[in-house]
Amino acid sequence: MDRRSFLKAILAGGGLTTLPWNSYALKLFPKPSKQKWAILFGSRYGGARDASLWISEGMGGIADVFDARENPDLSSFDDIVVGSGIYSGKIEQNLGNYLTKNSALISNKIKALFIVCGAGDSPRAQSFLDGLAKACQTRPPLTKIFSGRVTKRLLNEEDYKVEEEVFKRRNEPYEDYDHLKRNDCLKFGEEILRKM
């Protein structure tokens, strides 16, 4: 049973019955807003997902958070933030596919972009952010690069080998790291609201 079916089964059993059945967004901080905000993310190992939740929290909880794998309908939203993890120099594949199909419909609503990247805030990471902007067919006024994280035991075999090679080239021990900071994401959410 997948996670969504499991949660719906719990809801059908009487738990948290106030959530609508067609709710795919993570509505953890429901607050009213004049504008309907969405955060769309693509994440393989959870960094961009966590950043999205923290950005929403920084926005005072007014943004619904959507995983691109769920192919959400964002047509009813006024403003959208898009973020991706970076894998082998590319945006997350499911997000890339979603944007290929939908960017013409949502590009004028995109107000901010972010990436979560092990390269940190470097010229290389800036090129990855440029790739996300190209996929979105827009260059919004607000962009952010967050440093990433790696938990080796979560990586698939291919990604493990790629990361291992990166550490070998740097002549560094191959260890888990976590440079993604909640406070940085909260501040970006606050900045989005302040400037929009």
Residues 4-48: tens digit of each pLDDT = 555 455 555 554 444 443 444 555 555 566 779 999 999 999 999
178 neighbors 46 (Cβ within 8 angstroms): no
CATH of domain 20-195: 3.40.50.360
Six token digits for residue 13 = 């059993």
Every domain of the chain and the residues it spans: 20-195
pTM above 0.85, yes or no: no
At 166, the pLDDT band (50, 70, 90 cuts) reads: confident
DSSP 69: G
Which pLDDT value is given to residue 89?
84
